[in-house]
Every structure is written in C-alpha cells, then in structure tokens.
Amino acid sequence: MNKATKGFTLIELVVVITILGILAAFAIPRFANLEVEARIAAVQGLGGSIRSGATLAHSLSLAQGLAPGASVSMEGQSIGMVQRYPADASIDDTLVDFTGFTFTPATGVFTKDGATTPANCSVTYAEPTGANLPPTVTVDVSDC
C-alpha cells in the first residue's frame, strides 16, 4: 500500500510561517532605518559636491586672473562670484545634478525632499564675508 502524499502537513506550514515571522521581526527594523541613513548620506554627499564646486570656481577665477567679483564660466554656466567664490544664488550652477533637493537661491540652502524636518536635513552655502576668506558650507543632518 503505497500511498502518494501531496502537499505539506499543517505542522510544516506552521513551522515555516513561524520562521518567516522571526526573520521579518529582525529584518523590518533594519530596512526601515536604511531610509534615514540614505538621506543622511545624500545630504553629506551634496555638501562635499558644493565644497568641490566652490573650490573649482575659485581655482578657475584665480587661474584666469579675474577680479574678485567677476563671473566665471563653468560647463557653459555663468557663475556669479563674490570674493572669487560663487555667490549664494549661483552655487547651484556649479553642480551637475542635485535631484532630490530643493534649492533656495536667496539663502543658499539645499533642503532634502522627503525629510522628516527639511530644515534640519539640509546643506547651507554662505558666500565669503570678506577678502581672503573661504565660503562656509554647513551640513545639518540632525533630523533626516
């Protein structure tokens, strides 16, 4: 009497569901936390890009021997300068892409879209306040 068995027993199904539940209990918090870490990494990356863009524009201004307030051209974009560094309203033109951020030219602030508190998940660029002073780039990831 060979009886062919098909399917799973109730015990096997309960064990598999229990194991999946245990795995989900550990995995879901890890994946939920990755969203915040990704926003923090994006904001920090943009901060580095802004520093690089400002330094490249400054180097171009010096290499061309331009006056401290003379505009430079980078990748076909005219960059307004203050003390040989990009002005607040022009810093976005030194970047190729800042998708996922909202830029406010009047203040030089890039806020991360989708952040819990956008004002506390941002990069602020402040043009130089005097001769021979660099611009200030402030990265705030206190509430991404």
Range of the domain at 100: 10-140
pTM (two decimals)? 0.78
Residue 134 lies in a domain: yes
Domain assignment present for residue 93? The answer is yes
Q: CB of 137 within 8 A of CB of 54?
A: yes
CB atoms within 10 A of CB 123: 28
What pLDDT is stored for residue 36 in this prediction? 86
pLDDT in tens, 52-95: 999 999 999 999 999 999 999 998 899 999 999 999 999 999 99
- What would the mean pLDDT of 97-124 be, rounded to a whole number? 94
Question: How high is the mean pLDDT of the chain?
Answer: 90
Residue 3 in any domain: the answer is no
CB-based contact 66:84 (threshold 8 Å): yes
C-beta of residue 46 within 8 angstroms of C-beta of residue 98: yes
Q: What is the tally of structural domains in the chain?
A: 1
Residue 5 lies in a domain: no
Q: Is residue 105 part of a domain?
A: yes
Of 56, 136, 88, give the one whose Cα is nearest residue 80: 88
Residue 97 covered by a domain: yes
pLDDT higher than threshold 60 for residue 1: no
| 80 in any annotated domain | yes
The mean pLDDT of 14-19, rounded to a whole number, is 90
Burial class from Cβ neighbours inside 10 Å (0-12, 13-18, 19+) for residue 6 reads exposed
Residue 35 belongs to some domain of the structure: yes
